[in-house]
Structure 1
């Protein structure tokens, strides 16, 4: 099957043009030919992108050298074959020197087919060569860009130490450092990469570099040069040293803290034991004092009001001291994890009623009304004595912070909260209230609000802390809502007995 060929023929004699096309067909091509006979037509025909040009040496307005000059300017890769009726050596040599692909006599056009084959092959070779050169240049530019803009110092040196390629960073290294010593394993053992740390002087400062030396091979896999990549790791080494020092110091401080913590734990243990011991020792004589005071009150002559009054003061203050001792003893047991619970079925409504009876004399003296509002049974599981302490502490605070004519209400309800059935006790007073910024601190041990000091209300700051510890040990929660000057509501939530 004939090979298609876009052909441009510059010939002013039609029979010769037909003879040329006939020889092209005979050579196995199927030419799509454009025949021109002037320079202007020749220029315009080049826009059709012919693959081969066949040009008569002499035309009325153009010669073959003229056509070659045009091609050199516009399409230097386009092959041109010169044909002529006569030939002399000078004309032939001149045409080939100007870039002609071949030079043929018109009476020997049988060689036209091989000449076209040769011209097309040469054109393809030239195209491939140009493409390869272009890619080589692109690759070279990429490599040079990487070298010049790298944060590492890069060079390639031949085995005599002559630098073939280097970037500015490498050139700035003040120490003359030929690669031969570092490259000796590469030169003697073949393709082997050497990595190590090396010292260089940069701007008068000794700096540490991570050096990579690698072999550069030629086409026969022979090492002809050594590449070097040097990365400045001085700051990294300094940071690593600082981190090691910091880690050592931190470990030493941690050891000191461990010792200090152990000492603090021992001090805390001794403190807890001391408080427990003192509280226990105080409870016995205080109980005795109260017992004898009550006995004397029972035996006192009703007419001796002065003696009864003094005995009542002794009993009241002994009771206050005993409550304080009980609070301290309870907290010390909680801290030492020795607090035990006797969990039984407890009816919290009965406990609340009993607490109100205990606080009734104090409330009457203070002119405060006590109320109990419950829907009936309030069943929980817990330590009855500890739950009584919770209600006594809350009611005592409520009465203490309420002014004459005030009201303290104990309201019990059954609620469902967070997917749990709960018994909720609210102790509501119409007393002094607490500032909003103090609410988060109220259940902290020894914390006393500003209103305590302002109204000279006595207390230790342990009551609410004891309440919180007991309630949380029973799986419940306690919170307070308060408005300064309007009163407070303490909410105790405990799991309902199933």
Structure 2
């Protein structure tokens, strides 16, 4: 323990001066401190006596500013400055001036403590801090000789110099070489202007393992160690080693890393896309499945730290980016979990997006988005919906077909039966009446045969027992031939046909005769429903399929039927079913118009390299 320093009283000078700053009284302590005799200074200017010449700046009375301060708000003048002795030397002093009413001023000059005492007090200050510091500090001479250890270091290696055996007992064997390398590197570290490293700014900090006393040689603690060259520091002139126990921080970091690794592994193993954003919509976490599901080339690593809309532009990924943005803003404003938002992608796939806000201490700190590819499920669902729609449509059509077919069969059969009965009951009827009856019987018999043929054709098409004569054709040519073949029927129905069929596209393998039959059937149906108007026929190619639309610009009125059972529409239902079966056998679809709309019959035929087995 450092011995207590003796308290040495410091001299104090008291001088009174008149309002002009001239000495009135000069105390004995003033004589001792300043070296002037009272008899020599009475009546002299105190400022000229005690203020060094270098500080006067040409002023008549160097203390006048302090005297003037006494008349201010402070009521006194005060400064710390060098004070001159009679022998010409000076010393740091505290000068205090207070006024004497109607007499002048009292000037008190007190010497400040010597610099050596200040330095000693500074040493005690730093020693007290070091003694209580947890930082292990050791100082070595450049030749590697130990010089000093802080109390924390002594508690680690014990009293006295840390020998090689002591170092080997507390330092992990794998870290001894590292410490030696750092010592040599610090000793030889060059500076731009020459010399060695004298600042910790460039010193490297590494983690080493130390074994403090009392751990029974089992527990290794982790210390952050820095070796610094302080040879150029006069107060040190050596190599300083600093180390602080960071075991808890390292353990916490490792636990956090392990936890993060588990979370990352879990997220990467998911088959759904995960995106976590902070409150500013910057990506914090993402997995590779996200890019794969969205069809984006941007990896999860590139996405982290960036604004997602910049690296995943919605207009390039989503078929309807406006709807996506509106839904996103709604979810963010709502701030509640939501699931099941479906969005179509530009590549035709469909995803479902779920959202959940992330809260910490009741405050929203981020957003979680989960993306799933549901293309297969949507395809199945839409297929079922289309199948149900088709079944409902077929049920409706078959109801009308049964009525129409019954009417068509009943009419000719009734005629045949009536005229046959007439011939049987009136064998002596006139020859011309007999001829009319026979012609009616023959005409209605032929009509019945055509209906039976159509029924057999429909059964063959639906049962795939009727073969197709397939060959590669240009679809607009086939449709044009069908329009030409319908010319006579159009003239009788009082309609005009406008064909737009100069579209370009690949060849299509179809049965041209059957496909012409389907188009002509649709033309007949439209002509009976919109007699006296124009029929538009348009052929286009898009999205790997040919499309044929047949319809009238005028809407179908409510209550009207395309497949009416009237005489003018007789056979329409059966004709449509045949047309539908022909299109279906070619792998396509036929959609019907809806009441109150101008939608036309729509044939869609995908371009395929081959049709199912059995067609040929």
TM-score (norm 2): 0.25
Higher relative contact order (CA 8 A, sep 6+): 1
Larger helix share, 1 or 2: 1
